[in-house]
Amino acid sequence: MECRLFADAECSSGSKGYLQAGGIRARVININTIKLIDADIIVKAAKETGVIVIAEKHSISGRLGSAAAEVGSENYTVPVF
């Protein structure tokens, strides 16, 4: 399985290693801010793999996971984990 992992620099390497240990190939897409979220990259990632994985250290409500799910629901719906 392959996925796109959206994470900030602090979470990306550990999260990628965790996925790889489970047999999941992941390409990391670093997202440092959600205020100017790049909807195009989220939609492209969703179309490429059919799944998006979010890694963040804070609350999931109102953060990167919420923003990615919103972009996906408006453009190209896939599971967001």
Does some domain include residue 15? Answer: yes
* Complete edge-to-edge strand list for the sheet that includes strand 52-55: 25-30, 2-7, 52-55
Q: Is residue 80 part of a domain?
A: no
> pTM here?
0.79
Report DSSP state, residue 38.
-
81 within a domain of the structure (yes/no)? no
pLDDT (tens digit per residue) in 44-58: 998 999 888 988 876
Residue 26 is assigned to a structural domain of this protein: yes
User: Does residue 25 lie within any of the structural domains?
Assistant: yes
Characterise 50 by phi-psi region: left (phi > 0), alpha (psi -120 to 50), beta (else). left
- The pLDDT, as a whole number, for residue 60 is 60
pLDDT digits (tens, 9 = 90+) for 58-81: 666 667 888 888 888 888 888 777
CATH of the domain at 39: 3.40.50.920
Spatial CA neighbour of 52 closest among 73, 15, 32, 79: 79
Domain region containing 54: 2-75
Could you give the CA distance from residue 73 to residue 13 in angstroms, rounded to a whole number?
27
Give the number of domains in the chain. 1
Asked if the structure places residue 19 within a domain, the reply is yes
